[in-house]
Amino acid sequence: MVYARLKTFNENFLMMGKGKNNRFRWYHGALFFAGITLVERGLEAIVKKAPATPNARQDDREFYKDQRQAIFAPPGKAFPVAWAINDIATIWGNLRVLNKPAGTPGRQEYLGLQAASWGVYSLFTALHFGLRSPVNALVLTTAHAGLNIASELVAIHKLKDQKVAVSLAPVLCWLAVALPTAITSALWNRDRFYKTGPLVIPESRWLKKSA
């Protein structure tokens, strides 16, 4: 059942844009993904070279692992896999909306929300890992969640496109875990950039054993 659904999704992704009225095709999505990744990595590299950046030599995964983490926090190894799925599904939905007629109700609103969401996405690695700031992570995760929830509501109520709504399901599921994780991380850990915290010392029963 899972394999069949994945196969159908893959076929739909590859077929995206083959109609005469579809200007944006799957390779436009691939180019966008490559571009946003370069922007994300470039911003992190710039931030880490700044003189005021705290402990920039520490590996990002080691930094994440060294933080006090709630028992429900995802492991560092899950991030690349989860975000690959999130990004592919979201870009597929973005392409579908881009290929709708210009006057389609909700089209401009959805694309505007998604543009803002991708902007937040591009800043996350630099402002969280680059600056070693759990506070920045909380602010950006909250913004990302809000923008994608708003996008979901537009997809359902204005675009009335079930496939676009489903394309946001992976990232919304991830954010349902990521947002509580960001809240606890901001409360329980020292923010090296703002030089604040921790605001709360958690009980050991709420902490991952490895933290």
Residue 56 — very low, low, confident or very high, per pLDDT cuts 50/70/90? low
Given a cut of 80, is residue 148 above it in pLDDT? yes
Weakest mean pLDDT among 36-50, 134-148, 164-178: 36-50
Give domain status of residue 153, yes or no: yes
In total, how many domains does the chain have? 1
Task: State the average pLDDT for the chain.
Answer: 89
Weakest mean pLDDT among 27-41, 51-65, 143-157, 178-192: 51-65
Alpha-carbon span 151 to 67, nearest angstrom: 31
Give domain status of residue 27, yes or no: yes
Q: 123 and 140 in contact (C-beta within 8 Å)?
A: yes
Give domain status of residue 211, yes or no: no
Give domain status of residue 82, yes or no: yes
100 vs 9, more confident:
100
Q: 207 and 72 in contact (C-beta within 8 Å)?
A: no
Give domain status of residue 69, yes or no: yes
Q: What is the DSSP letter of 129?
A: I
Query: Domain range holding 105?
Result: 2-206
How many other CB atoms are found less than 10 A from the CB of residue 209? 7
Q: Which two tokens stand for residue 168?
A: 């946001």
User: For 71-86, what is the mean pLDDT?
Assistant: 94
Alpha-carbon span 164 to 179, nearest angstrom: 23
pTM of the entire structure?
Answer: 0.85
Given a cut of 70, is residue 16 above it in pLDDT? no
Given a cut of 50, is residue 183 above it in pLDDT? yes
Residue 58 — very low, low, confident or very high, per pLDDT cuts 50/70/90? low
Q: 158 and 110 in contact (C-beta within 8 Å)?
A: yes
Given a cut of 90, is residue 163 above it in pLDDT? yes
